[in-house]
Amino acid sequence: MTDTAISTGTDESVADFTMRARAWLAENMPRIDPDNPPFSVRAEEKSWERARHLQKRLYQGGFAGICFPRAYGGLGLDQAYQKAFNAECRCYEMPLILNTPSFTICGATILDMGSEEQKRARISAAIRGDEVLCQLLSEPSGGSDLAGVLTRADRVGDKWIINGAKTWSTSAFAADYGLMLARTDWTVPKHEGLTMFLVPLNAAGITMRRITEVNGNEEFCEEFFDGLELGDDAVVGAVNDGWTVATRQLHHERRAVGGGSEFASGTGAENANEMPPDHVGLAAATGQLDDPLVQNLAGRALVRRTVKSQLIDHVSASIANGSLPPNAGTLIRLFHAETTELEIDTALAISGTAGVVDEGSGLLDIGVRYLSRQTGSLGGGSSEMARNVIGERVLGFPREAAADRGMPFNQVKRGRT
């Protein structure tokens, strides 16, 4: 394997880039069967160690961070190059679990909103495979109201002292830094008193625990902050302007969840739980291949999958050329969630009892996947919130009424008060 990173000039055509990528992949990356790819278990440390190793290979070969600027360790190329690379690497093992949230959400947000030092340090380290980034947004009492953050950051001397808790942090146990939203001013309306911080997760004052989901997975974490000290260099954006950063972060998350981010490298599902069900294979395995009802169910799911792919291309291109606003990425996120639920529901309907009772057919995994079918409807904000965003910020409908709008946050009633 080449030991030094290849410098890719922006004058290289997509065709030439593709040919070079094809030759390099064949020589340097592990080959796989794209129809039966290996899947990473995001809850296991060894999956992240493997991903970091593969990312380092990509960086050394000059094919990491294709759409990130050259100043921060990327190649500074447009999405056409990334798409060409994705097509070429389909038959090779790739560090797909690093895409979300490290590159497509956190890396992209730091690129848009971070300081020059944060960009050079954190984005470069992630592209090299040295660091993983995560989000620290949701809170135990927050629900879908991200702006209702209770984690507090108090100014003491030249330090920020953080106290509070976060939850449902995707793969935080494997991360080195997290983007954390905290409240820095309680005397102004809730959206105006927030600040985003870039937190080193090995710092004193942080206790992290894994969350066991209903399907037995332990990918998500909860974090408790007790006197965590941060300096001004940890602030992303401006003090008390964290909502601007969070809004941009949610934009990237919705695009990432839907599959429309230019910063995702490689193609395919990140793990087995994201692999689209093989409805035709299920029909054959259960002896229903000629059943008109099953054919209709499978056909409907396959059509939705095709439309989703075309929607991603259309919305991404429209945002890029300005014919749709950036918030239109929520269309991808919402359609992805509904398509995923339909596909899993269809798979369980075809599997029947074999999907919920272990009959030795190997179809029990369908039932296990059904237990977490709605995760796509929660990532990047709930689907209900996504519909609000589409209605208000894409279609221009009147904003939904809010009793606490314009009210200082320390006067907002919470819980039973």
Which of 98-112, 161-175, 331-345 is predicted with the least confidence, judged by mean pLDDT? Answer: 331-345
CATH number corresponding to 135-242: 2.40.110.10
pLDDT digits (tens, 9 = 90+) for 269-295: 666 566 778 898 899 999 999 999 999
pLDDT exceeds cutoff 50 at 5:
no
Which residues have a Cβ under 8 Å from the Cβ of 323 and sit 6 or more positions away?
Answer: none
**N- to C-terminal Cα separation, the chain:** 63
The predicted pLDDT at position 239 comes to: 98
Q: Please say whether the beta carbons of 27 and 62 come within 8 A.
A: no
Pairing assessment for the beta strands 235-236 and 194-200 based on DSSP bridges: antiparallel
AA letter at 349: A
Region 160-187: mean pLDDT is 97
Topology of domain 276-394 in CATH is Butyryl-CoA Dehydrogenase, subunit A; domain 3 (1.20.140)
The residue ranges of every structural domain in the chain are 14-132, 135-242, 276-394
Closest C-alpha to 341, from 382, 311, 385: 382
Q: How far is CA 139 from CA 11, 202, 256, 287, 403, in A?
A: 46, 20, 21, 46, 21
Which of 15-19, 26-30, 135-139, 315-319 is predicted with the least confidence, judged by mean pLDDT? Answer: 315-319
Backbone φ and ψ of 327, nearest 5°:
-65, -10
The predicted pLDDT at position 336 comes to: 87
CA distance 251 to 108: 10
Closest C-alpha to 185, from 149, 209, 218, 215: 149
User: Tokens in use for 65?
Assistant: 């961070």
Region 377-394: mean pLDDT is 84
Which run of H or E residues covers position 281?
A: helix 279-285
Region 179-205: mean pLDDT is 97
What is residue 170's three-state secondary structure?
A: strand
Q: How many angstroms from the chain centroid is the CA of residue 277?
A: 21
pLDDT digits (tens, 9 = 90+) for 60-119: 999 999 999 999 999 999 999 999 999 999 999 999 999 989 999 999 999 999 999 999
The predicted pLDDT at position 399 comes to: 87
pLDDT exceeds cutoff 80 at 372:
yes
pLDDT digits (tens, 9 = 90+) for 226-258: 999 999 999 999 999 999 999 999 888 888 876
Which residues have a Cβ under 8 Å from the Cβ of 254 and sit 6 or more positions away?
Answer: 329, 330, 332, 333, 380, 381, 386
**Are the folds of 135-242 and 276-394 the same?**
no
Largest CA-CA distance found in the chain, in angstroms, rounded: 73
CATH for 14-132, options being 3.40.50.720, 1.10.540.10, 1.10.1060.10, 3.40.30.10: 1.10.540.10
User: Tokens in use for 244?
Assistant: 């601007």
Q: Is the peptide bond before 101 cis (omega within 30 degrees of 0)?
A: yes
pLDDT digits (tens, 9 = 90+) for 296-337: 999 999 999 999 989 988 988 898 899 998 888 889 889 988
The predicted pLDDT at position 273 comes to: 62
